[in-house]
Amino acid sequence: VEPLATDNTEQGTLTCPFPLPPLTIAPGVQLSWPDDGETHVLESAPDSQGPWTQMNVVPVVQDGQFTFCVRTDAQRRFFRLR
């Protein structure tokens, strides 16, 4: 077996001969909760005390979890299941 790269050494540092992959951070948050067979309603509010508003969303089941992505903006939001 031949090494992937030769003459790529630095003392105390590992050097990768391949370019670093680009990292993209999406402007959103992924919310998820277990698929426990119950029907839950996702609500959001600008403050932890409310007023709470039902979100008109249909989450996707992924790996036994209900999953939904929420776009982030400059406003603070709180989420809860009811």
Q: What would the DSSP string read from start to end of the chain?
A: ---S-SS--BTTB---SSPPPP----SEEEEEEE--S----EEEESSTT---EE----PEEETTEEEEEEE--SS--EEEE-
pTM of the model: 0.61
pLDDT greater at residue 18 or residue 9: 18
Q: What is the pLDDT of residue 4?
A: 62
Does the pLDDT value for residue 10 go beyond 60?
Answer: no
pLDDT per position as a tens digit, 16-74 = 677 777 767 778 888 888 988 888 889 999 999 999 999 888 888 888 998 888 888 77
